[in-house]
Copies of this chain bind each other. A is one copy, B any other.
């Protein structure tokens, strides 16, 4: 097991009818900016619940934060925050709204030349405006971690930031929201959380037995609940397990003491930036090819994954590993998610070379848990995913 440091101060308030607790969690003198997306919270009742809970507070609103939160829109929000002397941010939405809010909380206190520095500098964010979240879409885990991803359409870039100041002060998770989420987004959430675990688990053995068990437990739970949720999104217990699994998949716990990969995300982000494909679906496109391409270095963990998560007990280590990859692809298919780039766009020729060149231009000469995947490897993996 590798050395590690772990601290996660976010308070999770989980369960039915918990949005009402907003009023006791936010400082009474706060001037709040409530941030949300396209307005689905107005039709599913969340907007009203939040406004009712915050009736005694001064609350302004900023809506229209899109999925893959767009830099130019966030810059408008930043102007709004500054000109209205906002002191507290409340994200009401999924990962995109929460990530956008994290960027804003850092940008509001940023002293550099341009807030874009926050995304290119890769320096940990140590100072940020306090913020919290009401989660409306289980998927990214952003509600209990200190990372964020922001997209810039202008340059077709999608970059990440993180730091100890970017943990939400608290997040409210009411699984009742799941019944109003469109099936496509539920499927995305399941695939996203599943892949988050794979990125932290399918590397190489480091004798971190407990972390492996926890990772496998999240995967098993997602597999167990996914057919129930897709059949009946109002199944509260299935939804609650889905929601808590998404949070635990990326709140830092299972990555302690082990190597992390994140190459699937690095490549997937480019597919979203280039083609606008849903984030989770880009992961489902890349993951099978990535694991096949890296079979030699990942086969021990892949075989363990196949055995413990999919009960595949026959065959050699390599055969089990390959069966595990096939089972993963089959799992994505059960969610209605396609796993080849050509199933999303006809315009895929040259994508491998383009992304490979972008990595080279950024100086990303070695990604993955060993830092050993070169831009040439990246091109080959993406070509396998066509």
Contact = CB atoms under 8 A, between A and B. Distances in A.
A202 B333 CA distance: 36
Interface string A184-213: 000000000000000000000001111001
Interface in A334-349: none
Interface residues of A, number: 41
Interface stretch (A7-15, A90-98, A270-278, A319-327): A7-15
Contacts of A1: 15, 175, 237, 240-241, 244
Contacts of A241: 1, 207-210
B15 A11 contact: no
Interface stretch (A80-88, A214-222, A365-373): A214-222
A245 B240 CA distance: 25
Contacts of A13: 5
A225 interface: yes
From A214, A253, A257, residue with most partner B Cβ within 10 Å = A214
B4 A237 contact: no
Given A240-B257, A248-B210, A5 B12 contact: yes
Contacts of A210: 217-218, 221, 241, 244-245, 248
A188 to B, nearest CB: 20
A14 B257 contact: yes
A2 interface: yes
Contact of A214 (B6, B8, B170, B217): B217
B218 A244 contact: no
A383 to B, nearest CB: 37
A245 B5 CA distance: 16
A18 interface: yes
A217 B218 CA distance: 11
A10 to B, nearest CB: 7
Interface in A211-263: 213-214, 216-218, 220-221, 224-225, 237, 240-241, 244-245, 248, 253, 256-257
A201 to B, nearest CB: 13
Listed from nearest, the 5 A-B pairs whose CB atoms lie closest are: A3-B15, A213-B217, A7-B11, A207-B237, A1-B240
28 contacts: A1-B15, A1-B237, A1-B241, A1-B244, A2-B15, A3-B14, A4-B12, A4-B14, A5-B12, A5-B13, A5-B14, A6-B12, A6-B14, A7-B12, A7-B170, A15-B257, A207-B237, A207-B240, A208-B241, A209-B241, A210-B217, A210-B218, A210-B244, A210-B245, A213-B214, A213-B216, A213-B217, A213-B218
